[in-house]
Chains A and B, each alone.
Chain A
Amino acid sequence: MLIRLKGGRVVDPLNDRDAIGDVFIENGRIVEGASHGRKPDETYDLTGKVVMAGGVDIHSHIAGSNVTLGRALMPELPVLAAQGGASIAPSPDAWGAYATGIRYAEMGYTTVIEPALIPTHAIEAQIELASIPIIDIGALVILGNDDFSLGLLRDGGREAELQDYVGWTLGHAKALGLKVINAGGSEAFKFNARTFGLDDVVPDYGVTSRTVLKVLQRAVTELGVPHPVHVHCNNLGIAGNVETAVATMEATEGLPIHLAHIQFYGYGAEGEEGLSSGAPRLAEAINAHRNVSVDIGQVMFGQTITISGDILRQFDGRRGAHPKKWAIDQGDGNGTGIVPYQYRAGNFANAVQWSVGLEIVLLAEDLWRVLFSTDHPNGALFVRYPEIVHLLMDRDERARMLERLPESARQVSNLASIGRELTLSEIAIITRGAPARLLGLTDRGHLGPGAVADVAVYTEQKNKTAMFASAHLLFKDGALVVRDGEVVNVTWGKAYHVAPGVDAHIERRLAAFYDRYYGVDPSIFGVPAQIAGRPDRFATVPCLN
């Protein structure tokens, strides 16, 4: 069946397109319109509408034992968030798996990356992900605080083996990429460390965070995993930590790296309060390091919950819990810390955070390397994306918000002096084109012929919050799934992963390791293809070599 999306404003930066025109869909793919010369079976008149590829979210904690621990801690989260004005149903199931897919689709998103798969809990995460409707997913599996990696590094000269181990872990968990969270920091926490920097040494193992990170980065590059190592740096959320982020960029020596939720590393230590915007310094470093990509981790005011494998940081952060409860799960590898949190406009530090995130985007020279995220739910719930798009596209909206901030925060922020308003095409870059490209998902994030027919249609209007809160239409794999902001057809997506080939000896070593230290066989946490109960659930993304 040939579908014609007629006369909308097609915004497709990957194909250099921003013009009124048509998009054709056939058999779940975008097809060349002109060459067909036949009458479409179905035509949608999209006059006054904006047509984009389906949204691609590179970093959003939507599933897994860590997220479900958060749900168990705070079933009232959606109720509190809704009371604060967030566009979410005031019901515990509004942050359950099913509602997550529905809400993403309503906003025009079609692919979401869960960025913190715990290797030994990969089965739970993949089952949860499989119960999220409509969207496709990919997951990033966490290493860098696990004793097997650290053991290989302590022994030295075992990089080839480590590379095999990374490949094995990616395949075993059916992950799309590798995540490293405060490399060595969680392990140090196990020895009662309470801070951990890039050049601090992991107790007993004698290696620095820098070494762990660099070796894992090389392993990902050597394996040809399309998505570069995805890194949560040391010293998250600490005044002056912009230097940590810059030092991390410098440590990479030109190899690709993705730095997650960079806003949380955008803090200088200037001013009376000892906290200031480090955004200009950070933006300058991002602009200069062309091997580096980042996502924002934008903060929005309101109730949320923070969920992180940076247990050392979360342990410290427990003091700021709101409501006053938290979970510190001292698990295998990284562990997880869950701390409910309320960002307040009247709070100096929160106001600086809010400003820093926006500044980083607005100061970026190359938006293909500065991607959209809130680190859901850490900076803000994903349901708040439309408000952030609004802020990025509308300086008056920013000025209106700035009015609400404490004078002290405005003094250390640069936002008032930035006039830039992102265009629709730039929004499409940071929410579609760039994340898809960076993930190696080349069949999406754009509307060129051959791309998967994930197409979001929005009603063009001045109020960008309203525009992006509910898609006029959403096509997933060519099927209409959303009409006028409501899901009309519940479909089930795919899970994308890599499957690097690995030397069989690593399996024997791992079997011995898990038997000795955990009394189990690693097969019990390997993800079988049939786990989701749907035969075509998993799809392999080829490695680059």
Chain B
Amino acid sequence: MAPKQKGGGVEAASALLRAAQLLGRTRFPVIGGLLTDIDGAVAALALAKKLRGVIDHAAGEELARGSQIMRERGASPASFGETRNRADVIVMVGSGPLKRDPGLFQDLFPEEKGLPRPGDQARRLILLGDDLVNAPTHVKLTQVGQGGSDLPTLIARLGAAVAERPVGDEGQGDPLAQVAESLRTAAFAVIVYSVADLDEPALFTILDMVRHLSVATRAATLALAAPGNGDGVNLCSTWTCGLPVRTSFAGSVPEHDARRFAASRLIESGEADALVWIDALAEQGVRRPKGVPTIVLSSSDDAGEGEADILIEVACAGRDHDAALYLPAISGIGLVKAAHPNQDKPTVAAVLNNISGLIDKREAA
């Protein structure tokens, strides 16, 4: 173990002790980032509960939005495997999904024939929105919605068309009416999107569309996984306390609130008085909220030295050690073997459990 403290070069044990001291004094800390594996999430949830704090994930905004739709109305998802093998019509909402997963087209449209599937039409891809994309040559691609309409408007109009309500001025010739017809005649239509790109009304409209279609045929949604093991952490939170991330353990029962318990809001408003920021998946471009005493657990070599009050170097899940992470290909949690096994640094779980033990000791003393 070689954790560093602000200013660097201090003993590991001392950093952990200082972290425990800092957290032992807090009133309402946030455990945020949560870019970690399932073991790390388990430990973070336990620590948040002990400290009567809040848990949130770096992708908390989209996770909480997806969770809200689920709580209010439910869901009709298909797994990645079912979409890849059996969907004959795939509608992709904007180019957001492709930006998140550049290999998406290849994975959804492999060249080899898939598992037995319903219907006999060739598989096709419909791209909704303004961006131009290049699909593999063996995929039949239709693009609809060029000309400036934003995604929410396109989705609202497609929703109306699927329900066979008037969609606007263009009448029967409207390309969206043709998309709706493709969806109705599909054997298994899947609408692929990233929750991060869409607001709640659009997400509800997509769900309604799929449910309307599935009365007569088969239809489903496929939301791209959140970055940074967001879905894994969210699942872990749900089986642990019954609620998704952005949950507070300050009261007698856990409480979830997508806005009140957003890490950034709690830090900026000063409601939270400390932050434990976990960044152990080597993700790029994740921004940490600033303004309260902060303990950073980082697997990055250039983890902003001098910025955190306490910096603890940790192993990178899936690179330095085997890790349970959400894997989109199986639409669930799977195991990633360490790419370069390295036991020099402790895991997030080990560090958090250590700090937790030290807090217990302090309290007992």
Residues of A within 8 A of B (CB): 63, 65, 67-69, 71-75, 78, 89-98, 118, 120-121, 123-124, 127-128, 131, 147, 190-192, 203-205, 315, 325-332, 335, 338, 516-520, 523-526, 528, 531, 533
The residue on B at minimum CB distance from A154 is B116
Known: A72-B71, A123-B333. 18 other contacts (CB 8 A): A63-B239, A65-B235, A68-B239, A75-B256, A120-B332, A121-B333, A192-B118, A328-B75, A328-B220, A329-B75, A330-B76, A330-B77, A331-B331, A338-B74, A518-B80, A518-B84, A518-B330, A531-B335
Known A93-B241, A192-B118, A332-B82; judge A325-B235 contact (CB<8 A).
no
The residue on A at minimum CB distance from B75 is A327
Question: What's the nearest-Cβ distance from chain B to residue A392, in Å?
Answer: 31
* B293 at the binding interface (Cβ < 8 Å): no
Among B85, B112, B240, B336, the residue within 8 A (CB) of A93 is B240
The reply to whether B115 and A65 form a contact with Cβ atoms under 8 Å apart is: no
* B152 at the binding interface (Cβ < 8 Å): no
Question: What's the nearest-Cβ distance from chain A to residue B183, in Å?
Answer: 14
* Interface 0/1 of B68-86, CB less than 8 Å to A: 0011111111111110111
The reply to whether B329 and A124 form a contact with Cβ atoms under 8 Å apart is: no
The reply to whether B242 and A528 form a contact with Cβ atoms under 8 Å apart is: no
16 CB contacts below 8 A, A to B, read A68-B238, A69-B75, A78-B242, A92-B241, A95-B242, A96-B241, A120-B81, A131-B42, A190-B82, A192-B118, A325-B73, A328-B76, A331-B82, A332-B79, A520-B330, A524-B329
The reply to whether A330 and B67 form a contact with Cβ atoms under 8 Å apart is: no
The reply to whether B332 and A121 form a contact with Cβ atoms under 8 Å apart is: yes
A94 surroundings in chain B (CB, below 8 A): 242
B334 surroundings in chain A (CB, below 8 A): 120, 123, 520, 524-525
Report the bound CA distance from A218 to B101 in whole Å. 43
Question: What's the nearest-Cβ distance from chain B to residue A281, in Å?
Answer: 35
Among B42, B110, B329, B335, the residue within 8 A (CB) of A526 is B335
Q: For window 230-252 of chain B, which residues contact chain A by CB distance below 8 Å?
A: 235, 238-244, 252
Question: What's the nearest-Cβ distance from chain A to residue B237, in Å?
Answer: 10
* B89 at the binding interface (Cβ < 8 Å): no
The reply to whether A192 and B333 form a contact with Cβ atoms under 8 Å apart is: no
The residue on B at minimum CB distance from A128 is B239
Known A327-B76, A520-B329; judge A192-B217 contact (CB<8 A).
yes
The reply to whether A92 and B253 form a contact with Cβ atoms under 8 Å apart is: yes
Question: What's the nearest-Cβ distance from chain B to residue A227, in Å?
Answer: 25
Report the bound CA distance from A458 to B42 in whole Å. 34
The reply to whether A73 and B74 form a contact with Cβ atoms under 8 Å apart is: yes
Report the bound CA distance from A89 to B80 in whole Å. 36
B331 surroundings in chain A (CB, below 8 A): 120, 331-332
* B261 at the binding interface (Cβ < 8 Å): no
A531 surroundings in chain B (CB, below 8 A): 324, 335
A525 surroundings in chain B (CB, below 8 A): 330, 332, 334-335
A332 surroundings in chain B (CB, below 8 A): 79, 81-82, 330-331
Q: For window 251-292 of chain B, which residues contact chain A by CB distance below 8 Å?
A: 252-254, 256
A335 surroundings in chain B (CB, below 8 A): 79, 82
Question: What's the nearest-Cβ distance from chain B to residue A78, in Å?
Answer: 8
Known A92-B241, A96-B239, A131-B239; judge A73-B118 contact (CB<8 A).
no
Question: What's the nearest-Cβ distance from chain A to residue B98, in Å?
Answer: 17
Report the bound CA distance from A330 to B188 in whole Å. 11
The reply to whether B82 and A123 form a contact with Cβ atoms under 8 Å apart is: no
Report the bound CA distance from A74 to B118 in whole Å. 32
The residue on A at minimum CB distance from B188 is A190
* B309 at the binding interface (Cβ < 8 Å): no
Q: Lowest 7 CB-CB distances: which A-B pairs, in order?
A: A92-B242, A204-B116, A91-B253, A524-B334, A124-B333, A121-B332, A325-B74
A127 surroundings in chain B (CB, below 8 A): 38, 42, 324, 333
Among A97, A325, A519, the residue within 8 A (CB) of B110 is A519
Among A72, A75, A190, A331, the residue within 8 A (CB) of B118 is A190
Question: What's the nearest-Cβ distance from chain B to residue A327, in Å?
Answer: 5
Residues of B within 8 A of A (CB): 38-39, 42, 67, 70-82, 84-86, 107, 110, 112, 114-118, 187-188, 214, 217-218, 220, 235, 238-244, 252-254, 256, 322, 324, 327, 329-337, 349
The residue on A at minimum CB distance from B334 is A524
The residue on B at minimum CB distance from A525 is B334
Report the bound CA distance from A335 to B85 in whole Å. 15
Among B114, B116, B336, the residue within 8 A (CB) of A524 is B336
The reply to whether B81 and A517 form a contact with Cβ atoms under 8 Å apart is: yes
The reply to whether B254 and A92 form a contact with Cβ atoms under 8 Å apart is: yes
Among B80, B84, B218, B239, the residue within 8 A (CB) of A192 is B218
Among B115, B238, B252, B330, the residue within 8 A (CB) of A120 is B330
B335 surroundings in chain A (CB, below 8 A): 123, 523-526, 528, 531
Report the bound CA distance from A325 to B252 in whole Å. 28
The residue on A at minimum CB distance from B190 is A330
B39 surroundings in chain A (CB, below 8 A): 533
The reply to whether A92 and B240 form a contact with Cβ atoms under 8 Å apart is: no
The residue on A at minimum CB distance from B79 is A331
Report the bound CA distance from A128 to B235 in whole Å. 10
B115 surroundings in chain A (CB, below 8 A): 147, 517
Report the bound CA distance from A385 to B333 in whole Å. 32
Question: What's the nearest-Cβ distance from chain A to residue B333, in Å?
Answer: 4
The reply to whether B118 and A516 form a contact with Cβ atoms under 8 Å apart is: no
The reply to whether A97 and B188 form a contact with Cβ atoms under 8 Å apart is: no
Among A96, A118, A328, the residue within 8 A (CB) of B242 is A96
B252 surroundings in chain A (CB, below 8 A): 91
Question: What's the nearest-Cβ distance from chain B to residue A205, in Å?
Answer: 7
Question: What's the nearest-Cβ distance from chain B to residue A296, in Å?
Answer: 27
B330 surroundings in chain A (CB, below 8 A): 120-121, 332, 518, 520, 524-525
The reply to whether B332 and A191 form a contact with Cβ atoms under 8 Å apart is: no
Among A93, A97, A98, A123, the residue within 8 A (CB) of B324 is A123
A518 surroundings in chain B (CB, below 8 A): 80-81, 84, 329-330
A524 surroundings in chain B (CB, below 8 A): 327, 329-330, 334-336
Report the bound CA distance from A338 to B70 in whole Å. 11
Report the bound CA distance from A128 to B41 in whole Å. 12
The reply to whether A205 and B235 form a contact with Cβ atoms under 8 Å apart is: no
B332 surroundings in chain A (CB, below 8 A): 65, 118, 120-121, 123-124, 525
The residue on B at minimum CB distance from A120 is B330
The reply to whether B239 and A92 form a contact with Cβ atoms under 8 Å apart is: no
The residue on B at minimum CB distance from A326 is B74
The residue on A at minimum CB distance from B252 is A91
The reply to whether A325 and B333 form a contact with Cβ atoms under 8 Å apart is: no
Question: What's the nearest-Cβ distance from chain A to residue B68, in Å?
Answer: 10
Report the bound CA distance from A518 to B187 in whole Å. 20
The reply to whether B220 and A71 form a contact with Cβ atoms under 8 Å apart is: no
B329 surroundings in chain A (CB, below 8 A): 518-520, 524
A330 surroundings in chain B (CB, below 8 A): 76-79, 82, 218, 220
Question: What's the nearest-Cβ distance from chain A to residue B357, in Å?
Answer: 15
A72 surroundings in chain B (CB, below 8 A): 67, 70-71, 238, 244
Question: What's the nearest-Cβ distance from chain B to residue A287, in Å?
Answer: 40
